[in-house]
C-alpha cells in the first residue's frame, strides 16, 4: 500500500511509489496482475462534467470486482445543502474511497481532511494527477525509460500542465515548458518541481521547446469556465498550435489529454496522424487509475 492516505496531487506519493503505481498499472493492463477488490465501493463526486474520468473510474471499479457510485451536481449539493466536512465524514464511512472532480482545490483538501477513506483527485482547477499517471504510463510504453526522455509542454499553464510538470520532475523526464508570457505555469509549481527533481526549462518560444523532444504535449487553451476569455486567449496563443507545419521537423509523439478543440490548440490531421498517441493515452486513464486504486486499497 501507499504511505499516503489521499491522492490530491501527484507529489502526494514518492518517486518510488509513483514507479510502483505505474508498474502495477502496466501489469494490470497486460493481465500479469489479476488483483481484485471484491465489494469495494468508490463514491464519485462531480461538480464538473466528464467523459473519460467518469467512464474510466466506473469501468475500472467494475473490472476490479467493486462498484462505483456517481453523484453529480443534481444528486448532491457540495458545500450548499451540507458542509463539505459533513459530506466527507459520511461518504468516508459508507465507501472505501472517494473520487472528486471539483472546481476549487481547497474544497478537495477539505474533503480529504475529514474523510476516513482515501480521497482521489479526479481534477480540480489546480491539478489533475490521475491524468499525469496516464501520461507517464503512455510515455513509458511508447518512448522508453524516463531518464532518456525529452518532453515538451506547449500551450496553457493549466491544471493538467502543472501536474505534468511535477510528475516529470519526479520521474526524471527532461521537460521544456513553452507558454505565452501571461499564461505560464504557477511559480509555486515550478518551485515544487525543483524540490522533487529537475525543474522544467521554461520558454515562451514553442519552436525551442520541441527542438529535441521525444514527446510534445498540449491541452485546450480555453478550459471549462474560461469561455469569456476566448477571444483574448486565441490571440495570445497564436503560434502555439500543434499542426503539420509546426511538427514538420520532428518525429516526436504527440499527446493531448482530451477533449480536443480541433483547429485551436491542435489540428485534426495531427490528432489523427501517425505521431499521435492520444488514444492510447486516453485508454491508459483506465489502467493507471486501476493501479492507483489497488495500491491505495489492497490490504
* Whether the Cβ atoms of residue 10 and residue 2 lie closer than 8 Å to each other: no
User: Is 8 annotated for ligand binding?
Assistant: no
Instruction: Give the whole-number percent of the chain exceeding pLDDT 70.
Output: 98
User: Is 16 annotated for ligand binding?
Assistant: no
Tens digits of residue pLDDT in 59-79: 999 999 999 999 998 887 776
**All three cell numbers of 184:** 505560464
Q: Active-site positions?
A: 101, 128, 131, 219, 257, 285
> Is 96 within the bounds of a domain?
yes
> Is 16 within the bounds of a domain?
yes
255 and 170 in a common domain: yes
* Whether the Cβ atoms of residue 147 and residue 78 lie closer than 8 Å to each other: no
Q: For position 78, what pLDDT does the model report?
A: 73
Q: Which domain holds residue 116?
A: 6-128+284-297
Over residues 243-267, mean pLDDT: 97
* Whether the Cβ atoms of residue 9 and residue 132 lie closer than 8 Å to each other: no
Higher pLDDT, 4 or 132: 132
Which phi and psi (to 5°) does residue 201 adopt? -75, 140
Over residues 268-295, mean pLDDT: 98
Instruction: Give the whole-number percent of the chain exceeding pLDDT 90.
Output: 90
User: Is 131 annotated for ligand binding?
Assistant: yes
Over residues 237-243, mean pLDDT: 97
User: Is 179 annotated for ligand binding?
Assistant: no
210 and 104 in a common domain: no
Among the listed ranges 38-52, 140-154, 221-235, 259-273, which one has the minimum average pLDDT value?
Answer: 221-235
User: Which CATH number fits the domain that encloses residue 65?
Assistant: 3.40.50.1370
62 and 47 in a common domain: yes
Burial 97-117 (b: 16+ CB within 10 A, else e): bbbbbbbebebbbbbbebbeb
42 and 59 in a common domain: yes
> Is 107 within the bounds of a domain?
yes
> Is 79 within the bounds of a domain?
yes
Kindly report the pTM of this predicted structure.
0.97
Q: For position 79, what pLDDT does the model report?
A: 64
Over residues 244-254, mean pLDDT: 97
> Is 1 within the bounds of a domain?
no
Tens digits of residue pLDDT in 162-218: 999 999 999 999 999 999 999 999 999 999 999 999 999 999 999 999 999 999 999
User: Is 168 annotated for ligand binding?
Assistant: no
User: Is 223 annotated for ligand binding?
Assistant: yes
What is residue 160's three-state secondary structure? Answer: helix
For residues 277 and 253, what is the distance between their CA atoms, to the nearest angstrom?
A: 6
Nearest Cα to Cα of residue 44 among 63, 22, 15, 66: 66
User: Is 231 annotated for ligand binding?
Assistant: no
Q: What are residue 45's DSSP bridge partners?
A: 71, 100
Our measurement of the distance from residue 15's CA atom to the centroid of its chain's CA atoms, rounded to an integer in Å, reads 16
Amino acid at each position: 500500500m501507499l504511505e499516503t492516505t489521499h491522492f490530491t496531487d501527484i507529489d502526494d506519493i514518492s518517486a518510488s511509489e509513483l514507479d510502483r503505481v505505474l508498474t502495477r498499472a502496466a501489469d494490470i493492463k497486460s493481465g500479469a496482475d489479476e488483483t481484485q477488490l471484491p465489494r469495494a465501493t468508490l463514491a464519485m463526486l462531480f461538480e464538473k462534467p466528464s467523459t473519460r474520468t467518469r467512464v474510466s473510474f466506473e469501468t475500472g471499479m467494475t473490472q476490479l470486482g467493486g462498484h462505483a457510485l456517481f453523484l453529480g451536481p443534481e444528486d448532491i449539493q457540495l458545500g450548499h445543502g451540507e458542509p463539505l466536512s459533513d459530506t466527507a465524514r459520511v461518504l468516508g464511512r459508507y465507501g472505501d474511497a472517494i473520487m472528486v472532480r471539483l472546481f476549487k482545490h481547497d474544497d478537495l483538501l477539505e474533503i480529504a481532511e475529514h474523510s476516513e477513506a482515501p480521497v482521489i483527485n479526479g481534477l480540480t482547477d489546480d491539478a489533475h494527477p490521475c491524468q499525469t499517471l496516464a501520461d507517464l504510463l503512455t510515455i513509458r510504453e511508447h518512448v522508453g525509460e524516463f531518464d532518456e526522455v525529452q518532453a515538451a509542454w506547449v500551450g496553457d499553464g493549466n491544471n493538467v500542465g502543472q501536474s505534468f510538470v511535477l510528475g516529470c520532475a519526479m520521474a526524471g523526464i527532461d521537460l521544456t515548458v513553452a507558454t505565452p508570457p501571461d499564461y505560464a505555469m504557477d511559480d509555486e509549481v515550478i518551485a515544487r518541481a525543483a524540490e522533487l527533481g529537475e525543474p522544467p526549462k521554461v520558454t515562451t518560444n514553442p519552436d525551442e521547446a520541441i527542438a529535441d523532444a521525444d514527446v510534445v504535449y498540449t491541452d485546450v487553451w480555453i478550459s471549462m469556465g474560461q469561455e469569456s476569455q476566448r477571444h483574448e486567449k486565441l490571440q495570445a496563443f497564436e503560434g502555439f498550435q500543434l499542426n503539420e507545419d509546426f511538427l514538420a521537423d520532428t518525429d516526436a509523439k504527440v499527446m493531448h489529454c482530451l477533449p480536443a478543440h480541433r483547429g485551436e490548440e491542435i489540428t485534426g490531421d495531427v490528432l489523427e496522424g501517425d505521431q499521435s498517441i492520444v488514444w492510447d493515452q486516453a485508454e491508459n486513464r483506465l489502467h493507471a487509475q486501476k493501479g492507483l486504486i489497488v495500491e491505495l486499497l489492497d490490504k
